[in-house]
Structure 1
């Protein structure tokens, strides 16, 4: 009877571990359907509404389980220096890792390009979800990457700090 209980315990642990792994890496993600003219936008320096830029080869993933699971990749033939003159740079320049199976988005490679000055991170949109901004990084080769980052309000709200009056009201579930 003892062997049976041990085998049952080990088997149920393995099944639970495998299920948790699958859900974290694959289960919650879905492919984002491309919407030409709406997928890739940058925030002008004058603070007006985000402006769509020209792009090709768009692919992205997202998940309803977290506001920061969005990742995207695209190509653009726009000049990086021209973009730098017209659009707002982002203070958040640390791309979040993506699941290994989403091969176009390599956070270490993107981060290295940003550090070396071969890419620039731009603010795409503020508060795409409560306390979450969209960031777009574009390399000097025309490769583009998109991810979500917590803004100051999001960092405070999600770590339990008092948010304060400068942040919008958090939506109720």
Structure 2
């Protein structure tokens, strides 16, 4: 009888620990991202290399102090891909990071597939927004746009 009690206790502790780890990874450290009004999203100019604000509507985002690559944002821009490519630096090898399931406006698989097919175009928002981390923005032809943080070449080698 004692073995069943000890075994049940071990299973219970394991289940509680598993649920706690899941909650900590998916929910605990995320918070709503704060954006500077009028400068919510910035892109880096081809000429001069400075980041400047772009027109961004309906910006929503999440971020976390626990990791510099947990940032995700969704928004809409009336700026066309053609105008953006003439003005701002494109970002090669952009790979969006998966967002928590509850942040449903950001679908990393769909964004990544669109980037691979050339349907969406990735731009450098801000280089080294954190040491070794760039902010990347992908823009679709219909104006939907998404931002995330990605390790840059200095950290991924």
Q: Any idea what SS the aligned residue of 2:135 has?
A: strand
Instruction: State the partner residue of 1:28.
Output: 29
Q: Is the 8 A contact 1:92 1:135 kept in 2?
A: no
Q: Any idea what SS the aligned residue of 2:67 has?
A: coil
When the two chains are superposed, the root-mean-square deviation of aligned CA atoms in Å is 1.1
Please list every run of 5 or more consecutive structure 2 residues that lacks an aligned counterpart in the other structure.
Answer: none
Instruction: State the partner residue of 1:13.
Output: 14
Q: Distance in 1 between matches of 2:32 and 2:53?
A: 21
Instruction: State the partner residue of 1:69.
Output: 70
Q: CA offset at residue 92 of structure 1?
A: 2.9
Query: Which stretch has the larger CA shift, 17-26 or 43-52?
Result: 43-52
Q: CA offset at residue 115 of structure 1?
A: 1.6
Q: CA offset at residue 48 of structure 1?
A: 2.9
1:4 and 2:43 equivalent?
no
1:117 and 2:118 equivalent?
yes
1:85-139 per-residue CA deviation (whole Å, 9 max, x = no partner) reads 1100001321111011100000111112112222100000011111000000100
Q: Distance in 2 between matches of 1:80 and 1:10?
A: 54
Q: Distance in 1 between matches of 2:134 and 2:27?
A: 24
Q: Distance in 2 between matches of 1:25 and 1:143?
A: 25
Instruction: State the partner residue of 2:47.
Output: 46
Q: Any idea what SS the aligned residue of 1:153 has?
A: helix
Instruction: State the partner residue of 1:91.
Output: 92
Q: CA offset at residue 62 of structure 1?
A: 0.7
Number of corresponding residues:
156
Q: CA offset at residue 63 of structure 1?
A: 1.0
Q: Distance in 2 between matches of 1:9 and 1:105?
A: 38
Q: Distance in 2 between matches of 1:115 and 1:150?
A: 19
Q: Any idea what SS the aligned residue of 1:59 has?
A: strand
Please list every run of 5 or more consecutive structure 1 residues that lacks an aligned counterpart in the other structure.
Answer: 157-173
Q: Is the 8 A contact 1:92 1:149 kept in 2?
A: no
